Amino acid sequence: MFPLYLEPATTKSVRRASAFLNCLFYKDSGICPLKTRQRTYSIVGHTSSDSHLGSIHSTPFFMFSRVGQFSHYYIHDTMKSTIEEKGKIMKTIFTFTPPDDLKQDLFNSFPNENFSFYQDIQHAEQELSNAEVLVTYGEDLTDKHIQLADQLKWIMVTSAGLEKMPLQAIKEKGILVTNARGIHKIPMAEFTLGLILQFAKQFPVMQKQQKEQVWKKGLPIFELSGQTILIVGAGAIGSEIARLAKAFGMKTIGVNSSGEKRDYFDEMLMLDSMNEGLGAADFIVNILPSTSQTKHFYQKHHFENMKNTAVFINIGRGDAVKTEVLIEVLQEKMIAHAILDVFEEEPLPEEHPIWSMDNVTITPHISSNTNLYLPRAFEILKHNYRTYTNKQEDFLNVINVEKGY
């Protein structure tokens, strides 16, 4: 008998199985060949006629687990139940539980693969040693988990940020890392333009006046047309912001590490030469990732180079600017306003002085929120899964673990 996934059971009751495993037993014959990409199991056993697999009135019992801790089957005693292994199966573990429709889509797209879903990394630890592929949001992994996963070949991160990943341990083991870069561009661009419009059109003031039943027309409203927006981090998100900004007639300046031309930007600058852009910009949008090179990137002199009417928007990472520097800039009113979706410390403590500043708009790290977040991430996952299983090279969003992006 092949012992993997088998363990003694002491109860006569059988949990109702998930729809994914309904094929394991045929009610009449009690026999089901379970085929996978690289392994075939032949499972022979007597089952009750209950449509939910009911109870098996024989002992000893054994449990066969196919979908993590949630779906269990009990197999008849060792004399009548055998599992024969041929080849090797690829195990894919999720450290979160996606919606049922996305799981079903995976089962339909890859019917011969083995997926296990866990509510978090702690519940997944027992199976990490079997994982060849790991799907995670990226903030839960530690060096310990990488060491436990001694068969791990590929990590798919269903987010863009990698600053909390144990990249050194991953590098040492030569593990492929891909992420969901690009899926945030639409929600984050819409979020950014929405906040820019809110500031330009004085919507919060109007809402306040409505609550106070005040009719006042003399508000300092201005147009976006002709304004200049400087986008620091001219990748997928930055390009989408620039595209929308162009629709409003704004001039767009992009900043990246190379100064390479990107679509929808009127002008491109390199990071080390962005000061000239700071002085021309009416809106400065930070989308830099968090790396050793970008941590505390913005210094006081950057804000001194901005117009005193400028608006600084941070939807990238909170550690791009030191909190103390930001407070000083706002207290001295070096710029007109700051729109902050990210902070060095999150959640922002209740007693934090930024809460009470009237030249700040605070949002709780939600610029990328959308009902289409996971569906878009799973499209990238499925593309890369086909690439991986077919031993091809056209992976999307391969991460340079040295650079962290």
DSSP 8-state symbol, 2: -
Respond yes or no on whether the N-terminal peptide bond of residue 60 is cis (omega within 30° of 0): yes
Helix (H, G, I), strand (E, B) or coil at 187: helix
Establish whether 302 is a catalytic residue: no
Helix (H, G, I), strand (E, B) or coil at 373: helix
How far apart, in whole angstroms, are the C-alpha atoms of residue 316 and residue 305?
21
| φ/ψ (deg, to 5) at 366 | -125, 15
DSSP string of 307-361, one letter each residue: -TT-EEEE-S-GGGB-HHHHHHHHHTTSSSEEEES--SSSSPPTT-GGGG-TTEE
Establish whether 365 is a catalytic residue: yes
Give Dmax (Cα) for the chain.
87
Catalytic residue among 37, 123, 262, 365: 365
DSSP string of 6-61, one letter each residue: EEEE--SB-PPPPGGGTTS--TTT-EEEEE-SSBEEEEE----S-TT--B---SSE
Establish whether 16 is a catalytic residue: no
Catalytic residue among 317, 350, 352, 402: 317
Distance of CA 103 to the CA centre of its chain: 17
Q: Are strands 228-232 and 133-136 parallel, antiparallel or unpaired?
A: unpaired
Residues making up the chain, counted from first to last = 405
How far apart, in whole angstroms, are the C-alpha atoms of residue 239 and residue 245?
10
Question: Which neighbouring-strand residues pair with 91?
Answer: 114
Please calculate the CA angle 119-165-185 and round it to the nearest 5 degrees: 85
Name the burial class of residue 153, with classes exposed (0-12), middle (13-18) and buried (19+) by CB atoms within 10 angstroms of its CB.
middle
Catalytic residue among 346, 379, 383, 386: 346
Do 106 and 378 form a contact (C-beta atoms < 8 A)?
A: yes
Active-site annotation, residues: 317, 346, 365
